[in-house]
Structure 1
Amino acid sequence: MHVVIVHPEQWNGGSDRCTVALIRHFVSQGHRVTWLTTMIDEYWKNHKFDGVEIREVGLKLHPGDWWSQNVALGWHMVFSNLNPDVAIIDHSASCVPMIKWRFPECKILFYCHFPQQLVTPSRFFLYRWYAKLIGIVEEELFGHIDQIFVNSNFTATQFCKVMPNIDKSKVRVVYPPCDIDWIVSASERPVSRAQRARNNDYTFLSMNRFWPEKRLDIIVEAAAILKRQGYKLHVQLAGSVMPHIPESRIYYELLQKMTEDLDVNDIVEFIPSPTDKVKFELYQKCDTALYTPPNEHFGIVPIEALDQRRPVIVCDSGGPAETVLENVTGTKIAKPCGELLAEAMLFHMNKREWPELDTEEGYAKQRQRLEKEFSTRGFCANIDRAIAEMFGSIDITDEQTTTPAQTTIVTQPVATEVYSKPQQYNKAAHNRRAQA
C-alpha cells in the first residue's frame, strides 16, 4: 500500500513518538510511506527515518495551530503526485474533506489525542471566534473518517460528548506505544531505588514540557511549603522549552521568577530540553516522578516512570487516572493544588518501599502490563486490524465500544491571568487558579 501520514510539527512528545512508531512499522511491512509535516524539531535532527519519503512543507503559521497546518498539508496532497491507499491523520481533521474529494478510494484513520475544539487556545478576540468555528464544523469533518482511534478512555468520553452524532462503532480506545527500548538502547536497564545509592535528599523529578496547562507552578508551590516545614528535598524541573511557541518561553520565565519569589532557588533545579540520555539518567537518579497536568488526555510520563521503576504523583483525572495504580505504582491528588501536592510528596518521602517497583517479582508483573497495554507491538497490531477492516479484509465484531464512566467535559486552561504578564507575579491570581 501507499500510506500517507499527516502529522504537523514533529516535537518530542507522545503524539510525535506515535508517528515514529507508525513510520517504522509500515516501512518494516514493505509499504510505501510518505510523511507530510510542517516542521521537524531539532530534537529529531540526527534521527534516521529510513525508508520514508519526508515532505516538510515549510509554513509560517502560528506554532500549535494544527487546524491551519493540516489544511495546508491537505492542499499539498491535492496538488501533489501522491495517490494514497491509506491516510493516517492526527491533531486536526481539517484536511479530511479535501482528501476524500481528491482521493475518493483512500481510507482515512484518525488518531485523536483530544478534540481540537477543546484545546484551541483563546489567544485574543478574533482567535476566539476562530476556535468557535472549529467547534461548529469539527463533528461534520469527523463524520467522513473511516476509523477513529482515541488514546484513552478519558479522551473517548470527551470526544463522544462534544460529537454525539458520530457513529460510536468508529471510536476505539488504543493507548499510545510507550515502550522506549529503542530510545534508551545505549542506557542501562531500569534499576530500582533499592539497588542504587541513596540520594542525600529525597529527589523529585518533573519531566514535562514547559507549558501553562502542565501546571508545573504547583510543584514550585509545594516545594516552598515543604521547605517552610523544615523538610529537605531536591526538585528537578526538566522538559522541553519550545522557543517557537511564546507560551512555552513565557511560562519557563514565570517559573524561574516564582522560585525566586518563594525562596526555593536552593532546592529547585531547572533542566531545559534534556537529551534522551540525560532524561533517563534523571529518571534513574530520582526517587519519585511528578506529573501535574489536570485532565491530560493520556500522559506518557507516568508510563515512562513505571518503566523506569519509579513511583509517580499525578492528578486524579484524565489518562493518568487510568494508568496509575493508587499506592501501587503511584499516588493521585484530587486537583492541581500546591497544598495537596505537598502532602503527597511528604507521603512519598516517608514511604520506604514500593514492592511492585522495588522488587524483581513485583516489577515483572508491571512489565507484563506495560507490554500488554502500552507496547508498540500492540499499537501497530491495532492499526493493522483497523486498516484490514476498512478494506473489508476482516470483520471485527467481537470488540465492544468503550463507554467510560467519566462525564465531565473539561476544556484545557488558557493563557490568562498570571500567564499573560510573566514579568509580574500576581499572587492573588495564582491562588485563585490553584483553588479552582
Structure 2
Amino acid sequence: SAALKLATTHSPNLHFEPRRVLRVEPPHPTSPCGRGTACTPCPTVSACIPVLRLARTRKKVLFYCHFPDQLLTKRESFLKRLYRLPLDWLEEYTTGMADCIVVNSKFTAKVFKDTFKSLSHIKPDVLYPSLNIRSFEEIVPADIADLIPKKKKFLFLSINRYERKKNLALALEALHELQGRLDSHEWDEVHLVMAGGYDKRVLENVEHYEELRRLAAKLDVNDHVTFLRSFSDEQKISLLSNSVCVLYTPSNEHFGIVPLEAMYMRCPVIAVNSGGPLESISHNVTGFLCDPLPMQFADAMEKIVRNPLLKDIMGAAGRVRVMEKFSSEAFSEQLYQYIRRLTE
C-alpha cells in the first residue's frame, strides 16, 4: 500500500528486536486510509501514550507489551509497595489508552489479563518477536577448540544469565542423571557448556556461579562441564554450530530468545514446558518440552545420544520454523497488517 511506509531498525547484536522504529507516513489524500491518518508505535512502556494521544495531530497508538512492568519490580518493603501503588495504577490506565495492544506471546497475554483487571474487555493479539537473522550471517565464528575437550561427540549447551531463577542447576542434575544411563565410552563423548551472562559487580552472578561449580563437583560431573562467563557473539555462534542440543532450563519465561537462536542454527532445544517455549518449540519436531525435572531432561538428552540423526532432523525443522514464524519478514508483515487496520 502506498498509504503506509514501514521502516525497521535492527539491533546489532544477536538478540531479538523488541524496539523497532516504525514510520507510518500520512497517506495520500486519495488513499482509502483517509487524509492525515498516522499511527505511532509505542514499545514496552505505556507512560508516553497520553502524550501521544494529546499531540496536535491525532495519532493512533499501537502498544507492544513485552510484560507488565509492575511484575518486574521487587516490593520487599512497605515503602516500596506504597511507592509502587500509583505507578501500577498509571501503567494500567495508560495501557488502556492505546488503540491497539499486542503482546509477545500467549503466555504474556494471559499474564496481561490476570494483571490488568480493569482491562478485561481488551484481548491483545500476539505478535511474536523476531530474530535478528542478519547478525548470524555476518558474524565470523570464533575458534572454541580451547574451550571444549577433544573427542567430545555430544556437546550440550546451556545459555542463560547466572541467576538462580534461571534454574541452571537443572542442566547439571540432568547431566548427572544421563551419566548413569551411559556406558563409560558413551559418557566420555559427552560434554556440557554452561554459557552465562556474568557481571562481577552483580552479587547474585558471582554467588550463583560458585554455587554451580560446587554442585558440579558434588555430582562428580565437573570434568564434563565447561563454565563460560560473559561469552562473545562469535563464541555463541560457534557453540550453537557445534552443539547437538541446547538445554533451556527457566520456567515461565515471557518468551525466551535462546530457543529461537538455537533453532535458527539448526540445533534442537530441550526446554521446560511452560511460558514462551510452549509457543516457540514444536515438541518432538524441533526439540523436546519437559517438566523441570532432571529425569525428564535426561530422557530427552539420551534420545539425542542414542540417535544422533535427531540433531540433523530436528535442526532442519527448527530452521524452517524460525523462518516461517519468527523472522523479521514475518514480524513486519504482521505488524503492517495491524497498522493498516488502525489507519483505515
Kindly indicate whether residue 126 of structure 2 is the aligned counterpart of residue 176 of structure 1.
Answer: no
8 A contact 2:265–2:315 mirrored in 1? no
Which residue of structure 2 lines up, in the alignment, with residue 252 of structure 1?
209
From 315, 322, 326, the counterpart of 2:283: 326
Question: 1:112, CA displacement in angstroms?
Answer: 1.6
Question: 1:100, CA displacement in angstroms?
Answer: 4.0
From 313, 324, 330, the counterpart of 1:372: 324
Structure-2 change in CA distance of 1:13 and 1:163 (3 Å)? farther
8 A contact 1:122–1:128 mirrored in 2? yes
Kindly indicate whether residue 119 of structure 2 is the aligned counterpart of residue 163 of structure 1.
Answer: no
Kindly indicate whether residue 305 of structure 2 is the aligned counterpart of residue 349 of structure 1.
Answer: yes
Which residue of structure 2 lines up, in the alignment, with residue 411 of structure 1?
none
Which residue of structure 2 lines up, in the alignment, with residue 290 of structure 1?
247
Question: 1:293, CA displacement in angstroms?
Answer: 0.8
SS of structure 2 residue aligned to 1:18: coil
Question: 1:167, CA displacement in angstroms?
Answer: 6.7
Kindly indicate whether residue 169 of structure 2 is the aligned counterpart of residue 217 of structure 1.
Answer: yes
> Which runs of 5 or more structure 2 residues have no equivalent in the other structure?
27-37, 142-149
Question: 1:288, CA displacement in angstroms?
Answer: 0.9
Question: 1:204, CA displacement in angstroms?
Answer: 0.7
Distance of 2:298 and 2:86 partners within structure 1: 41
Report the TM-score when normalising by structure 2.
0.76
Which residue of structure 1 lines up, in the alignment, with residue 95 of structure 2?
142
Which residue of structure 1 lines up, in the alignment, with residue 71 of structure 2?
118
Once the two structures are superposed, residues 97-127 of structure 1 have per-residue CA deviations (whole angstroms, 9 ceiling, x without a partner) of 4554566734432222222233323455543
Question: 1:385, CA displacement in angstroms?
Answer: 3.1
8 A contact 1:313–1:331 mirrored in 2? yes
Distance of 1:87 and 1:13 partners within structure 2: 23
Structure-2 change in CA distance of 1:303 and 1:174 (3 Å)? same
Question: 1:259, CA displacement in angstroms?
Answer: 2.8
> Which runs of 5 or more structure 1 residues have no equivalent in the other structure?
32-83, 189-197, 395-436
Amino acid at match of 1:321: L
Distance of 2:249 and 2:237 partners within structure 1: 19
SS of structure 2 residue aligned to 1:280: helix
Which residue of structure 2 lines up, in the alignment, with residue 280 of structure 1?
237
SS of structure 1 residue aligned to 2:282: coil
Amino acid at match of 1:150: V
Report the TM-score when normalising by structure 1.
0.62
Structure-2 change in CA distance of 1:250 and 1:2 (3 Å)? farther
From 383, 386, 395, the counterpart of 2:338: 386
Question: 1:351, CA displacement in angstroms?
Answer: 2.9
8 A contact 2:273–2:289 mirrored in 1? yes
8 A contact 1:202–1:287 mirrored in 2? yes
8 A contact 2:14–2:233 mirrored in 1? no
Amino acid at match of 2:335: I
SS of structure 2 residue aligned to 1:389: helix
SS of structure 2 residue aligned to 1:266: helix
Question: 1:249, CA displacement in angstroms?
Answer: 4.0
Question: 1:389, CA displacement in angstroms?
Answer: 3.3
The root-mean-square deviation of aligned C-alpha atoms, in Å, is 3.6
Distance of 1:261 and 1:366 partners within structure 2: 35
Structure-2 change in CA distance of 1:284 and 1:368 (3 Å)? closer
Structure-2 change in CA distance of 1:170 and 1:316 (3 Å)? closer
Q: Percent identity?
A: 32
Amino acid at match of 1:205: L
Question: 1:154, CA displacement in angstroms?
Answer: 1.5
Structure-2 change in CA distance of 1:113 and 1:11 (3 Å)? farther
From 86, 109, 112, the counterpart of 2:40: 86
SS of structure 2 residue aligned to 1:118: helix
Structure-2 change in CA distance of 1:109 and 1:85 (3 Å)? closer
Once the two structures are superposed, residues 16-74 of structure 1 have per-residue CA deviations (whole angstroms, 9 ceiling, x without a partner) of x332xx24x75xx999xxxxxxxxxxxxxxxxxxxxxxxxxxxxxxxxxxxxxxxxxxx
| Number of residue-to-residue matches in the alignment | 315
SS of structure 1 residue aligned to 2:18: helix
Distance of 2:120 and 2:278 partners within structure 1: 26
Once the two structures are superposed, residues 211-246 of structure 1 have per-residue CA deviations (whole angstroms, 9 ceiling, x without a partner) of 222211211222333446664421101132245654
Structure-2 change in CA distance of 1:372 and 1:333 (3 Å)? same
Distance of 1:380 and 1:286 partners within structure 2: 31
Structure-2 change in CA distance of 1:227 and 1:370 (3 Å)? closer
Pick which of 177-186 and 122-131 moved more: 122-131
Structure-2 change in CA distance of 1:287 and 1:366 (3 Å)? closer
Question: 1:379, CA displacement in angstroms?
Answer: 1.1
SS of structure 1 residue aligned to 2:131: coil
Structure-2 change in CA distance of 1:249 and 1:131 (3 Å)? farther
Distance of 1:294 and 1:135 partners within structure 2: 25
Structure-2 change in CA distance of 1:222 and 1:366 (3 Å)? closer
